[in-house]
Amino acid sequence: MAEVKNFASILEKQLEGFEFDNFLVGSKVDSELLAREESLWLSAGLAYPESIKAELNREVGKILNTTLGKPTEFSNPEIVAMIDTRFDVGSVIPSPIFIYGRYLKYSRGLPQTKWFCRKCRGRGCEHCNNTGKMYETSVEELIAAPAVLVTEAEDFALHGMGREDIDVLMLGSGRPFVLELTKPKKRRIDFDSLAKSINTKNRGKIEVNGLRKSSRKEMIAIKSSKSKKTYRCRILAKKPIPNEKLKMVVNTFVERVITQRTPIRVSHRRPDKYRKRTVVNCEIVSQNGQEFILDITGESGLYIKELIHGDSARTQPNLSAELGIDCDVIELDVIKIHDDIDNEYRSE
């Protein structure tokens, strides 16, 4: 215990350069010392004595409360300062930062997250030009780069409320996401200026809005959300379709339950099964000869491309079969995600 002051000053040095409003002290103590302590408890017949570790942490913490002018936080500290009493060394582990926002994607050919090269799995090879990636960049990397610069974080991950295919645009009010920044040095974030720097750097590719502080809890809620989505779907039919017939068939899809076997295009990475999803709404936006545009609102998980072309009859019913004319999706955009996450979590 005589060394408490020494430990506190070691940790104070380690904490230099990190931004935090509260902290927690932890410690690694010589296992021999702990073993001796335990046998002492046993011989003294103590059931729940305060351990050396707990007392050490508390006493070091008390000194740091004074020197740093910051409180101890037990349940959700912004940073944990660890003292290793065996070697008189300290280390610090900043808690991750979670940032909520919504993103819009204006570019076809941009995946949501880093997509590792299939051949080398990220190590870098000839196939991927030694980048380790299938695509040069992603929504995740474009959003994270300015945030990493501001926070000096070691790593990042974007958690989206679902994901759109690489060739699908994300429009309307955007898709909710939580950006997780690991081991940040700085945690005072000016969200407006962060949004501005993301948006000016990526004009024409992506845009973010509504950035604010988030939490692990909200991140989990976003990942597991089952929100309805509305898609704008440009479709090309093999033959012209009379407008009256198109109207009639499209109307039959409103509130219709669709059975979809795992699509061929994803069957290599998803289990082969049947599932049912409801088309909540389906309406014609415009029609021009063989080409027409539909707005389709579907339950979370409805495969839209397959609903149109039928996926070799693996999706039943499907638009092509009901029309008796093969149809294909030539462009697909998400135009609305029907979520309420921002209202639920903003004030937390």
Q: Which residues have a catalytic role annotated?
A: 165
139 binds Zn ion (CB under 5 A): no
> Taking the complex as a whole, how short is the minimal distance between the CB of residue 119 and Zn ion, in angstroms?
5
Among 125, 145, 293, 325, binds Zn ion (CB under 5 A): 125
120 binds Zn ion (CB under 5 A): yes
In whole angstroms, the minimum distance from the beta carbon of 121 to Zn ion comes to: 8
24, 99, 117, 143: which one binds Zn ion (CB under 5 A) = 117
Amino acid found at 339: D
What's the min distance (Å) between Cβ of 114 and Zn ion?
13
Sign of CA dihedral 35, 77, 98, 216: positive
Least Å distance between CB 130 and Zn ion?
Answer: 7
Distance separating alpha carbons of residues 48 and 326, to the nearest angstrom: 74
Q: Strands 155-160, 169-182: parallel, antiparallel or unpaired by DSSP? A: antiparallel
Peptide bond into 317 cis (omega under 30): yes
128 binds Zn ion (CB under 5 A): yes
Check residue 114 for interaction with Zn ion (CB under 5 A). Answer: no
Cβ closest to Zn ion, residue 134 vs residue 335: 134
Which of 307, 288, 311 lies closest to 296 in space, CA to CA? 307
Nearer to Zn ion, 120 or 335 (CB): 120
Give the C-alpha separation, 340 to 321, whole Å.
35
**Residue 68 binds to Zn ion (criterion: CB under 5 A):** no
293 DSSP β-pair partners: 234, 286
Shortest Å distance, C-beta 115 to Zn ion: 11
How many chain residues touch Zn ion (CB under 5 A)? 6
Q: Rounded to the nearest whole angstrom, what is the least distance from the CB of residue 128 to Zn ion in the complex? A: 3
Which SS3 state, helix, strand or coil, does residue 184 take?
coil
Strand, helix or coil for residue 211:
strand
Within a 10 A sphere around the Cβ of 247, how many other Cβ atoms? 13
Query: Bridge-partner residues for 327, per DSSP?
Result: 237
**Is the CB of 127 or the CB of 226 nearer to Zn ion?**
127
**Scanning residues 261 to 280, which ones bind Zn ion (CB under 5 A)?**
none
Q: Residues 6 or more apart from 116 whose CB is under 8 A from it? A: 122, 132, 133, 134
Q: Toward Zn ion, which CB reaches closer, 127 or 212? A: 127
Q: Is 223 helix (H, G, I), strand (E, B) or coil?
A: helix
The nearer residue to Zn ion, 129 or 209, going by C-beta atoms, is 129
Which range touches Zn ion (CB under 5 A), out of 5-13, 70-78, 113-121, 169-177?
Answer: 113-121
Decide if 219 contacts 178 (C-beta within 8 A): yes
Give the binding range for Zn ion (CB under 5 A) out of 8-16, 29-37, 124-132, 224-232: 124-132
Instruction: Select 108 or 118, whichever has its Cβ closest to Zn ion.
Output: 118
Judge contact between 294 and 285, C-beta under 8 A: yes
Given candidates 58, 127, 239, 265, which one binds Zn ion under the rule CB under 5 A? Answer: 127
The piece of 23-31, 94-102, 127-135, 161-169 that touches Zn ion (CB under 5 A) is 127-135
Structure tokens belonging to residue 140: 């995740």
What residue ranges bind Zn ion (CB under 5 A)?
117, 119-120, 125, 127-128
